[in-house]
Amino acid sequence: MDIKATYKPAAFFVITFLITWSAWFIAAYFSYQEGMEGLQALFMLPGLFAPFIAAMIMIYRSKSPELRRDYRDRLLNFKRIKLATVPIMLLLMPAVILASILLSLLFGKSADQFAIVQQFSFSAGPVPVLLLLIFVPALEEMGWRGYGVDSLRSRFNLFATSLWFGLLWALWHLPMFFVRHYYQNELLSNWVYTANFWVSIFPVAIIINWLYYRNNRSIIACFLFHLSVDLASEIFQVEQFTKCIGTGVLILIAVLIVIADRKLFFGEKEPG
Protein backbone atom coordinates (compact mmCIF):
# COMPACT_ATOMS: atom_id res chain seq x y z
CA MET A 1 0.00 0.00 0.00
CA ASP A 2 1.19 3.52 -0.84
CA ILE A 3 1.92 5.24 2.50
CA LYS A 4 0.80 8.56 1.08
CA ALA A 5 -2.70 7.20 0.52
CA THR A 6 -3.04 6.25 4.20
CA TYR A 7 -2.63 9.78 5.56
CA LYS A 8 -5.74 11.56 6.87
CA PRO A 9 -4.66 15.00 8.12
CA ALA A 10 -8.13 16.25 9.06
CA ALA A 11 -8.79 13.26 11.34
CA PHE A 12 -5.37 13.58 12.99
CA PHE A 13 -5.75 17.26 13.85
CA VAL A 14 -9.38 16.90 14.96
CA ILE A 15 -8.39 14.16 17.43
CA THR A 16 -5.41 16.19 18.62
CA PHE A 17 -7.42 19.36 19.19
CA LEU A 18 -10.35 17.58 20.84
CA ILE A 19 -8.08 15.95 23.40
CA THR A 20 -5.87 18.97 23.99
CA TRP A 21 -8.45 21.73 24.17
CA SER A 22 -10.89 19.70 26.30
CA ALA A 23 -8.19 18.80 28.83
CA TRP A 24 -6.38 22.15 28.89
CA PHE A 25 -9.46 24.33 29.29
CA ILE A 26 -10.42 22.18 32.28
CA ALA A 27 -6.85 22.57 33.58
CA ALA A 28 -7.21 26.34 33.10
CA TYR A 29 -10.27 26.31 35.34
CA PHE A 30 -8.50 24.40 38.10
CA SER A 31 -5.45 26.69 37.85
CA TYR A 32 -7.57 29.46 39.43
CA GLN A 33 -8.88 27.25 42.24
CA GLU A 34 -6.76 27.24 45.39
CA GLY A 35 -5.51 23.79 46.36
CA MET A 36 -6.37 22.29 42.96
CA GLU A 37 -2.83 22.23 41.57
CA GLY A 38 -2.86 18.42 41.42
CA LEU A 39 -6.00 18.36 39.27
CA GLN A 40 -4.56 21.09 37.07
CA ALA A 41 -1.45 18.98 36.41
CA LEU A 42 -3.60 15.89 35.86
CA PHE A 43 -5.59 17.58 33.11
CA MET A 44 -2.51 19.11 31.50
CA LEU A 45 -1.09 15.65 30.78
CA PRO A 46 -3.68 14.46 28.20
CA GLY A 47 -3.09 17.62 26.19
CA LEU A 48 0.65 17.07 26.16
CA PHE A 49 0.13 13.48 25.01
CA ALA A 50 -2.50 14.43 22.41
CA PRO A 51 -0.33 14.69 19.26
CA PHE A 52 1.33 11.36 20.11
CA ILE A 53 -2.01 9.71 20.94
CA ALA A 54 -3.53 10.98 17.69
CA ALA A 55 -0.53 9.69 15.72
CA MET A 56 -0.84 6.25 17.31
CA ILE A 57 -4.57 6.13 16.57
CA MET A 58 -4.08 7.12 12.95
CA ILE A 59 -1.17 4.74 12.37
CA TYR A 60 -3.07 1.84 13.99
CA ARG A 61 -6.27 2.58 12.06
CA SER A 62 -4.36 2.74 8.78
CA LYS A 63 -3.74 -1.02 9.00
CA SER A 64 -0.56 -0.34 7.04
CA PRO A 65 2.50 -2.37 8.09
CA GLU A 66 4.61 -0.08 5.92
CA LEU A 67 3.46 3.00 7.84
CA ARG A 68 4.17 1.32 11.17
CA ARG A 69 7.66 0.25 10.11
CA ASP A 70 8.31 3.70 8.70
CA TYR A 71 7.28 5.33 11.99
CA ARG A 72 9.48 3.05 14.12
CA ASP A 73 12.48 3.65 11.89
CA ARG A 74 12.02 7.42 11.87
CA LEU A 75 11.72 7.37 15.66
CA LEU A 76 14.67 5.11 16.47
CA ASN A 77 17.14 5.15 13.59
CA PHE A 78 19.99 7.59 14.29
CA LYS A 79 21.49 6.77 10.89
CA ARG A 80 18.87 8.99 9.26
CA ILE A 81 20.55 12.04 10.79
CA LYS A 82 23.09 13.88 8.67
CA LEU A 83 26.02 14.86 10.87
CA ALA A 84 26.44 18.17 9.04
CA THR A 85 23.04 19.32 10.36
CA VAL A 86 23.69 18.44 14.02
CA PRO A 87 25.29 21.83 14.85
CA ILE A 88 22.18 23.50 13.40
CA MET A 89 19.90 21.37 15.56
CA LEU A 90 21.80 22.07 18.76
CA LEU A 91 23.34 25.52 18.29
CA LEU A 92 21.11 27.54 15.96
CA MET A 93 18.62 28.64 18.61
CA PRO A 94 21.24 29.48 21.29
CA ALA A 95 23.04 31.53 18.60
CA VAL A 96 19.79 33.32 17.72
CA ILE A 97 19.18 34.14 21.38
CA LEU A 98 22.72 35.44 21.91
CA ALA A 99 22.58 37.51 18.71
CA SER A 100 19.22 38.93 19.79
CA ILE A 101 20.62 39.94 23.17
CA LEU A 102 23.52 41.69 21.43
CA LEU A 103 21.10 43.55 19.17
CA SER A 104 18.93 44.50 22.14
CA LEU A 105 21.90 46.30 23.70
CA LEU A 106 21.60 48.82 20.87
CA PHE A 107 18.14 49.66 22.25
CA GLY A 108 19.45 50.18 25.76
CA LYS A 109 18.57 46.77 27.13
CA SER A 110 20.66 45.20 29.88
CA ALA A 111 23.69 42.96 29.35
CA ASP A 112 22.40 41.01 32.36
CA GLN A 113 20.37 39.03 29.82
CA PHE A 114 23.51 36.98 29.17
CA ALA A 115 23.32 35.62 32.72
CA ILE A 116 21.99 32.11 33.32
CA VAL A 117 18.57 32.13 35.00
CA GLN A 118 18.17 31.15 38.64
CA GLN A 119 14.59 30.10 38.02
CA PHE A 120 12.45 29.60 34.95
CA SER A 121 10.17 32.31 33.62
CA PHE A 122 6.98 30.36 34.25
CA SER A 123 5.39 27.91 36.64
CA ALA A 124 3.87 24.53 35.76
CA GLY A 125 2.21 23.81 39.07
CA PRO A 126 3.61 20.72 40.79
CA VAL A 127 5.38 19.56 37.60
CA PRO A 128 9.14 20.45 37.49
CA VAL A 129 9.63 22.93 34.66
CA LEU A 130 12.89 21.33 33.48
CA LEU A 131 11.14 17.98 33.14
CA LEU A 132 8.39 19.69 31.17
CA LEU A 133 10.93 21.32 28.83
CA ILE A 134 12.36 17.88 27.98
CA PHE A 135 9.17 15.83 28.07
CA VAL A 136 6.98 18.10 25.94
CA PRO A 137 9.24 18.29 22.83
CA ALA A 138 9.54 14.50 22.81
CA LEU A 139 5.77 13.99 22.93
CA GLU A 140 5.08 16.72 20.41
CA GLU A 141 7.59 15.46 17.87
CA MET A 142 6.37 11.87 18.13
CA GLY A 143 3.02 13.26 17.02
CA TRP A 144 3.72 16.28 14.84
CA ARG A 145 6.59 14.77 12.86
CA GLY A 146 5.41 11.24 13.58
CA TYR A 147 2.25 11.76 11.55
CA GLY A 148 0.90 15.32 11.38
CA VAL A 149 3.44 17.02 9.11
CA ASP A 150 3.71 14.09 6.71
CA SER A 151 -0.09 13.97 6.50
CA LEU A 152 -0.19 17.62 5.49
CA ARG A 153 2.63 17.15 2.99
CA SER A 154 0.67 14.37 1.33
CA ARG A 155 -1.68 17.20 0.27
CA PHE A 156 0.64 20.22 -0.13
CA ASN A 157 4.21 21.14 -0.97
CA LEU A 158 6.55 21.69 1.97
CA PHE A 159 6.18 25.47 2.04
CA ALA A 160 2.38 25.35 2.24
CA THR A 161 2.66 22.43 4.68
CA SER A 162 4.86 24.49 6.98
CA LEU A 163 2.49 27.46 6.92
CA TRP A 164 -0.54 25.29 7.61
CA PHE A 165 1.31 23.44 10.33
CA GLY A 166 2.51 26.73 11.87
CA LEU A 167 -1.09 27.95 12.08
CA LEU A 168 -2.36 24.70 13.59
CA TRP A 169 0.59 24.48 16.00
CA ALA A 170 -0.07 28.04 17.17
CA LEU A 171 -3.78 27.36 17.71
CA TRP A 172 -2.94 24.15 19.60
CA HIS A 173 -1.33 26.33 22.30
CA LEU A 174 -4.42 28.55 22.69
CA PRO A 175 -5.74 27.07 25.99
CA MET A 176 -2.34 27.67 27.63
CA PHE A 177 -3.06 31.40 27.56
CA PHE A 178 -5.78 30.71 30.12
CA VAL A 179 -3.74 28.48 32.46
CA ARG A 180 -2.64 30.63 35.37
CA HIS A 181 1.13 31.22 35.65
CA TYR A 182 1.95 29.34 32.46
CA TYR A 183 4.34 31.06 30.05
CA GLN A 184 1.62 31.95 27.56
CA ASN A 185 -0.61 33.25 30.34
CA GLU A 186 2.14 35.59 31.50
CA LEU A 187 2.38 37.04 27.98
CA LEU A 188 -1.16 38.41 28.16
CA SER A 189 0.15 41.39 30.11
CA ASN A 190 1.32 42.89 26.79
CA TRP A 191 -0.40 42.39 23.44
CA VAL A 192 2.86 42.86 21.52
CA TYR A 193 4.48 39.96 23.36
CA THR A 194 1.34 37.87 22.87
CA ALA A 195 1.44 38.57 19.12
CA ASN A 196 5.15 37.80 19.03
CA PHE A 197 4.48 34.32 20.40
CA TRP A 198 2.06 33.58 17.55
CA VAL A 199 4.33 35.02 14.87
CA SER A 200 7.46 33.24 16.15
CA ILE A 201 5.89 29.83 15.63
CA PHE A 202 5.86 30.17 11.82
CA PRO A 203 9.63 30.55 11.19
CA VAL A 204 10.31 27.81 13.74
CA ALA A 205 7.85 25.56 11.87
CA ILE A 206 9.68 26.22 8.59
CA ILE A 207 13.11 25.57 10.09
CA ILE A 208 12.15 22.39 11.95
CA ASN A 209 10.35 20.97 8.91
CA TRP A 210 13.39 21.71 6.79
CA LEU A 211 15.57 19.82 9.30
CA TYR A 212 13.04 16.99 9.31
CA TYR A 213 13.14 16.39 5.56
CA ARG A 214 16.85 17.11 5.21
CA ASN A 215 17.47 14.40 7.83
CA ASN A 216 15.48 11.72 6.02
CA ARG A 217 12.38 12.45 8.14
CA SER A 218 14.16 11.75 11.43
CA ILE A 219 11.94 12.40 14.46
CA ILE A 220 15.06 12.37 16.64
CA ALA A 221 16.54 15.32 14.73
CA CYS A 222 13.38 17.34 15.29
CA PHE A 223 13.29 16.49 18.98
CA LEU A 224 16.87 17.74 19.40
CA PHE A 225 16.08 21.02 17.66
CA HIS A 226 12.76 21.47 19.50
CA LEU A 227 14.54 20.81 22.80
CA SER A 228 17.24 23.37 21.97
CA VAL A 229 14.55 25.95 21.15
CA ASP A 230 12.79 25.48 24.49
CA LEU A 231 15.96 25.35 26.59
CA ALA A 232 17.64 28.31 24.86
CA SER A 233 14.50 30.40 25.35
CA GLU A 234 14.55 29.71 29.08
CA ILE A 235 18.20 29.38 30.09
CA PHE A 236 19.12 33.06 29.59
CA GLN A 237 17.47 36.03 31.30
CA VAL A 238 16.03 37.20 28.01
CA GLU A 239 13.54 40.05 28.08
CA GLN A 240 10.38 39.81 26.03
CA PHE A 241 11.56 42.76 23.93
CA THR A 242 14.64 40.74 23.01
CA LYS A 243 12.47 37.74 22.12
CA CYS A 244 10.71 39.98 19.60
CA ILE A 245 14.11 40.70 18.04
CA GLY A 246 14.74 36.95 18.06
CA THR A 247 11.56 36.40 16.06
CA GLY A 248 12.87 38.80 13.43
CA VAL A 249 16.15 36.90 13.27
CA LEU A 250 14.28 33.59 12.94
CA ILE A 251 12.14 34.99 10.12
CA LEU A 252 15.29 36.06 8.28
CA ILE A 253 16.84 32.59 8.73
CA ALA A 254 13.63 30.89 7.57
CA VAL A 255 13.46 33.10 4.46
CA LEU A 256 17.08 32.33 3.59
CA ILE A 257 16.48 28.58 4.04
CA VAL A 258 13.43 28.65 1.77
CA ILE A 259 15.31 30.60 -0.90
CA ALA A 260 18.38 28.36 -0.69
CA ASP A 261 16.34 25.15 -0.76
CA ARG A 262 13.53 26.15 -3.10
CA LYS A 263 13.32 22.74 -4.72
CA LEU A 264 12.59 21.05 -1.40
CA PHE A 265 9.94 23.59 -0.37
CA PHE A 266 8.16 23.92 -3.68
CA GLY A 267 8.72 20.46 -5.13
CA GLU A 268 6.71 17.27 -4.77
CA LYS A 269 3.93 17.06 -2.20
CA GLU A 270 4.47 13.58 -0.89
CA PRO A 271 6.66 12.92 2.18
CA GLY A 272 9.99 11.21 1.88
**Annotated active-site positions, please?**
140, 173
Residue 84's nearest CA partner among 242, 272, 214 is 214
DSSP for residue 156: S
| DSSP state string for 53-76 | HHHHHHHHHHT-HHHHHHHHHHHH
Best CA proximity match to 161, nearest among 13, 269, 2, 256:
269
Q: How far is CA 42 from CA 46, 47, 153, 208, in A?
A: 8, 10, 33, 29
Give, for 32, the enclosing helix (H) or strand (E): none
Q: How many CB atoms lie within 10 A of CB 219?
A: 23
